[in-house]
Amino acid sequence: MSSSYILSLTTFVYLGATAIYLLYWIFRLEKVGILGTVVTALGFIMQTVGIGMRWHESYQMGYGHAPLSNLYESLVFFAWVTILVYLVVEFKTKNRVIGAFATPFACLAMAYASFSPNVQDSIQPLIPALQSNWLLAHVITCFLGYASFAVACGFGIMYLIRGDGPSSSYLLEALPSRRALDELMHQTIIFGFLWLTVGIITGAVWANQAWGTYWSWDPKETWSLITWFVYATALHARFVRGWAGKKIAYLSIIGFVSVIFTYFGVNFLLSGLHSYGSS
């Protein structure tokens, strides 16, 4: 059994988790909620094993590198971190409805990685530019940021569909209050912002070591800066009267669109130094 087979199976596990969390949201049965957590945790373990196997396979092929070097591997890692961040949030808030808004991101990423003809799942050797210890630091920090922003986007959507009142409908009353969502959104955005910043910095250190320039306005770099500006706006918006809440929720969604563009759009639509991320 190959790692990519196991990883493609996790797509369905996360799909199942999403469905179970939705059922939990609708029927509010504690047992269903627990099942959702169990299935998500199982998917996470399965995916961890898959990633470990892929790492091992790369050594068997004589390449020997961490599975973080191309689009397929980064998508898998993105889904993995998203689930990790979500499980931490669930553990801290004890609210399982959030799962219905977070697990779909992981499921979509895995589905795209496993089944899109644009994404190659073969293990490739590292070209000279990628042969650096900074690869690990750079990719891990960036994706911690991306995954946090995915969860923050989930919170933003929840905030917008959650009305102002105490319980405007049966479905909405299960969501955390707007105040709680605002706080969660803020915390996740700060967390993601920290990692995005560290990701940009590790990228700069690496670029300086490989090419002699820490910043060259390559489209990917520029888009990560654009994303940084969007979240900087979200973080400062709290201090302007009348900007808190709804506007920040919109910004967390716009920010995630910018993350997605930084991640995919740049690879497919624009060319630059990061072109190895597109195959």
Partner 1 sequence: MKSKANDSKANIVVRFFSSVKLAIFLFIILAITSIIGTVLPQGESLQFYLENYGPFYFKIIKNLHLYDTYHAWWYLGLMGLFSINLIVCTIKRLPYTLRLYSRDYLDLAKDDLLRRPLRTKWQAREKTNPGHLRQEIVSVFSALAGKPRSRQDVDGGQLLLSEKGRWNYWGVYLIHISVLVIFAGAIFGTFTGFKGRVMLLEGEKTDHAIQMDSHGNVKKIPLGFDIKCNHFKVDFYPNGAPKLFKSDLSILEKGKEVLHKSIVVNSPLTYKGITFYQSSYQSVPDLKVKMVSSDGEQKIFDLSAFDRGLWPEKGILIGILKYLPNVHGAPAARVYVGDPSGSNGDAVWLLMGNDRELNIGKNTYRISLVSAKEKYMTGLQVKKDPGVWLVWLGCALMVLGFGIVFWVGHRRIWLWIGEKDKDLHIILAGQTNKNKVSFEREFEKIKDGITKQIGEQ
Per CB under 8 A, residues contacting partner 1 are 63, 92, 124-125, 127-129, 131-132, 134, 183, 190-191, 193-194, 197-198, 201, 204-206, 208-215, 217, 219, 222-223, 225-226, 229-230, 232-233, 236-237, 239-240, 243, 258, 266, 270
**What is the C-alpha to C-alpha distance for residues 64 and 76, in angstroms, rounded to an integer?**
18
* Three-class secondary structure of residue 66 per DSSP: coil
**Least distance (Å) from partner 1 to the CB of residue 252?**
15
**Least distance (Å) from partner 1 to the CB of residue 72?**
16
**Least distance (Å) from partner 1 to the CB of residue 170?**
27
- By C-beta, is 79 or 138 nearer to partner 1? 138
CA dist 247 to 17, 40, 267, 269, Å? 30, 31, 29, 29
In the block, which residue shows the tokens 């597109």? Answer: 278
**Least distance (Å) from partner 1 to the CB of residue 227?**
8
- By C-beta, is 5 or 215 nearer to partner 1? 215
- By C-beta, is 57 or 183 nearer to partner 1? 183
* DSSP secondary structure code for residue 211 in this structure: T
Long-range contacts of 121-124 (CB under 8 A, 24+ apart): 121/4, 121/7, 121/72, 123/54, 123/57, 123/58, 123/61, 123/63, 123/67, 124/63, 124/69, 124/70
CA dist 64 to 165, 227, 277, Å? 56, 33, 18
Measured CA angle at 255 (ends 118, 222), to 5 deg: 70
- By C-beta, is 48 or 124 nearer to partner 1? 124
Q: What is the CB-side half-sphere exposure of residue 22 using CA atoms within 13 A?
A: 8
**Least distance (Å) from partner 1 to the CB of residue 246?**
15
- By C-beta, is 170 or 239 nearer to partner 1? 239
In the block, which residue shows the tokens 């690990």? Answer: 136
- By C-beta, is 26 or 180 nearer to partner 1? 180
**Least distance (Å) from partner 1 to the CB of residue 193?**
7
Asked whether 50 and 75 are in contact (CB, 8 A), the reply is: no
- By C-beta, is 56 or 236 nearer to partner 1? 236
* Token duo for residue 156: 């933003």
**Least distance (Å) from partner 1 to the CB of residue 179?**
12
